[in-house]
Each structure stands twice: as structure tokens, then as C-alpha cells.
Amino acid sequence: MRRTTSDIRRANRLDVLRRIYAAGSASRQDIARRSELSFATIANVVNDLLGAGVIVEDHFVGSGSGRPRAVLTPNGVRGLLVGVDVAETYVHAELFDLALRRLHAGEHPIGPETRRPAEIAERIARAIDALLAEHGAARERVLGVGVSVPGQVAPQLGVSVFAPGWDWHDVPMLALLQERIGLPLYLDNPLMAGTVAELWSGAGREAGNLVCVTVGTGVGAGVVIGGSLYRGTTDAAGEWGHSVLVYGGRACRCGSRGCVEAYVGAPGIMETLRELDPGSELLCGGDQTACVQALADSPDAGPVITRTAGLLGAALAGLVNIINPETVVLSSWVARSLGPRLLPELRESVAAHALDRAMGAVHIVLSDIPGNAVSLGAATFALEGFLDAVISPGRRT
């Protein structure tokens, strides 16, 4: 529950800053028009942000009758942020300025033999070292590092609670990294990082209630309520991919049957293709990346697209009915490849399965974040953490 004065100040600060980042630049008056905050509150928050050097008064514009208005922009030169997307097959590290502009990126493969927490921590540390060295950036200029690791994460504890691909249970990842990296660190998972990226830099820039649906090998949903990420009682919210869509249907890797993920994650789409046409060349010998790309490109993919859009739309309708969001954004690599072909039939299927009132309120869109949204989101967590440290370093009151 967000109840203390410092909680509310923090929420207001993120709200104001998010609007400046979203628009690229904005006057105090622009912010007041778009938010529910009073002008006085906005002016106070802006003073804090200016004081911390996070934003600057870029120039002034005339305002008709009144005084010229200051145009506020993120202060890119204030320092650097690092975002790291760790998956079972790679470490992808990116360097950003404080305006969240991407400066440099590097990707390093991880072999299947590398899975011990200390080894992974070492790979992450080396990827960050390489990133800074290649860009010629001094370590002292880095204000924070956000790291996303796969699976379930308890961010407050800095613990990877469960990473099925590596069979990790309760790994104190933040402590392992801290030892090696020595910079302010923030740990989370790709679902939350991708959702925060949409909130600051993507389709959620104007939304209060947002659902960010990840469609990749796995499927999940990040939920934003009133402009804040919703994490659930034990940081386990958002496992929408394991809602039952076909009771008693396909076996899912989670141990249950008929889950959304078993139909619309990449392996599920391949199984649909196998059902429709067992000998299809589009299966690409079982290579899921190649198969999804082939489906995106081929004129013969119609039946798989239709079937997948129907299933995914029915599943999304359930989310729309329960959460009644302003925006549903589809992200991750399957959505990026197949999204343009899926979207028309997908919207029809959602409309056929959702109730009118919720359907009328929602926009269903594909993510337009270029490049890796997870590393951007991880860097955004580092930005949020830097703000907390620099503006209100005290305890809760």
C-alpha cells in the first residue's frame, strides 16, 4: 500500500518525470494539463528534479500573454545508466545516458554448460566492463546498473527466486553481482523490465492502467495499475501465460494442461503448425526462431496465423475483462515477428470474446520500442533507483 508521505512524493516524482521523458520535453504547464497533480505539486517536484540535475531548463517559449515558459528536458549529460538483459543463451548489455538514449550495446553468448550463479555473475560483470571500455566511459559516471535475469525474482531482496532453465532456487544474485561490480545495482526479471520500458518509453507513456503482454518462447503479462507496476503479494503476479485457455488441453511445461503459453508461445505455435500440416516446410527442422520468421514471411502461413490469432485473442479478452486496461501492448520476439500479420484477426478475436464496455476502452497495439526493451527497462529501474537515492535518501516517514 502506498500510504506514507514519502511514497506519495516518490509516485508524484515518477509521474512528472515520466511525462517529461515521454514527451522528450515539456513545460510545467504541459505537465499540469496531462496529469491530475496540482500546479504547485508539479512545481515542487520539478524543483527537486532540477536540483538533482536530472532535468534541465532547456529553453524558454512565449506563452501569449504571460511570462515565457521554461521547457524542461532530461539532462542526458548528468551521467550514465547500464541495462543488462540476461537470458539462458546470452548476456546483452547496453549503455544509456540519463535521458535513456542508447549509446552502446554488446551481446555475449552463454553456452549451455554455464549455469552456476557465480559464473553467470562473472559473465555479467565482464559484459559491463567491456561495454564501458568499448565506449570509453569512466566507471564513476555510471549512476546505476539494472540487471534482468530470467524467471521469478524478488527485487527487494535481490534474489532470483526460481530460474527454471538453470534450476536456480533462491540465488542471492544481487550480492554476487555487488561484489564484482561495485555500482548501485537493481535486480528484476524480463517481464517487469519490459513493462517498465513500455511505461517510460513505449505504448504505456500515456496510460494509467496498462497490460504488457510478452509473447516469446514463454508468455506472461506485466500489469500497471494507476501508473505503478503491480507485483502481487509475493512478487509473483503476471503469470498470465499459465491461465487455462483450453481446459484439459495440451500439456504445458509448467506441469498443467491447456495453458495460454502452450498455444501461443513459440513452441505452441509450432505445435499448431504441426497439427495443421505435419510435414510443413515452415517448421524449419524444429528451429523455433527460424520457424517464427518463416511464418512471418510466408504466404502459406494463413491458417496458422488465423488459428493463433483466435487463441491469443480469446486469452487476451480474459485480461481485458478482468483488468479493464487502457492499453494492451504486445512485446517480445514472437510479437515483433508475427505481430503485424496477427493483429487484424487478433483484434477481431478479442472483440468476439470480450465484453463491450471493457473492449470499448482498450487499445491493442504492438510494442514500438526499437531494439531490446528488456535492457532499456533494466536501465529504467536503475534510473528510478538513482532518483530515490539522490532526492529522498531518507527512510519512510
CB 339, CB 347: distance < 8 Å: no
Q: What is the DSSP string of 258-289?
A: SBTHHHHSHHHHHHHHHHH-TT-GGGGGG-HH
Residue 225 makes contact with a second copy by CB under 8 A:
yes
Query: What are 219's three cell numbers?
Result: 508468455
Residue 167 makes contact with a second copy by CB under 8 A:
no
Of 317, 334, 342, 346, which lies in the binding site for a second copy, with binding defined by CB under 8 A?
A: 317
Residue 4 makes contact with a second copy by CB under 8 A:
yes
Of 97 and 239, CB closest to a second copy: 239
Residue 266 makes contact with a second copy by CB under 8 A:
no
Of 273 and 294, CB closest to a second copy: 273
Residue 162 makes contact with a second copy by CB under 8 A:
yes
Contacts of 79 (CB under 8 A, 6+ apart): 97, 98, 141, 142, 143, 386
Residue 311 makes contact with a second copy by CB under 8 A:
yes
How far is residue 372's CA from residue 49's CA, in Å, rounded to a whole number?
Answer: 27
Residue 38 makes contact with a second copy by CB under 8 A:
yes
**What is the total count of residues that contact a second copy (CB under 8 A)?**
69
Of 190, 202, 238, 385, which lies in the binding site for a second copy, with binding defined by CB under 8 A?
A: 238
Residue 86 makes contact with a second copy by CB under 8 A:
no
Of 108-116, 317-325, 329-337, 384-392, the window that binds a second copy (rule: CB under 8 A) is 317-325
CB 386, CB 112: distance < 8 Å: no
Of 175, 244, 296, 390, which lies in the binding site for a second copy, with binding defined by CB under 8 A?
A: 244
Neighbours of 351 (CB within 10 A): 16
Residue 37 makes contact with a second copy by CB under 8 A:
yes
Residue 221 makes contact with a second copy by CB under 8 A:
yes
Neighbours of 336 (CB within 10 A): 18
Residue 166 makes contact with a second copy by CB under 8 A:
no
Of 43, 110, 130, 254, which lies in the binding site for a second copy, with binding defined by CB under 8 A?
A: 254
Of 25, 73, 243, 298, which lies in the binding site for a second copy, with binding defined by CB under 8 A?
A: 243
Residue 164 makes contact with a second copy by CB under 8 A:
no
Q: Which of residues 107-146 bind a second copy (CB under 8 A)?
A: none
Q: For residue 371, give Cα distances in angstroms to 2, 42, 110, 197, 377.
A: 33, 32, 20, 11, 12
CB 349, CB 310: distance < 8 Å: yes
CA angle 286, 287, 289 (to 5 degrees): 140
Of 75-83, 132-140, 222-230, 364-372, the window that binds a second copy (rule: CB under 8 A) is 222-230
Angle between helices 5-23 and 39-51 (to 10 degrees): 80
Region of residue 159 (left: phi > 0; alpha: psi -120 to 50; beta: else): beta
Q: Is the dihedral of CA 41, 144, 167, 312 positive or negative?
A: positive
Nearest to 175 by CA among 154, 189, 191: 154
Q: What is the dihedral of CA 346, 347, 348, 350, to 10 degrees?
A: 90
Of 245 and 282, CB closest to a second copy: 245
Residue 52 makes contact with a second copy by CB under 8 A:
no
3-state secondary structure of 74: strand
Of 290 and 352, CB closest to a second copy: 352
Please report how close the Cβ of residue 102 comes to a second copy at its closest, in angstroms.
Answer: 29
Of 99-107, 111-119, 283-291, 320-328, the window that binds a second copy (rule: CB under 8 A) is 320-328
Of 38 and 89, CB closest to a second copy: 38
Of 272 and 372, CB closest to a second copy: 272
* Residue ranges in contact with a second copy by CB under 8 A: 1-5, 8, 11-12, 15, 36-38, 41, 152, 161-162, 208-209, 221, 223, 225-227, 230-240, 242-247, 249, 254-258, 310-311, 314-315, 317-319, 321-326, 352-355, 357-358, 360-362, 397
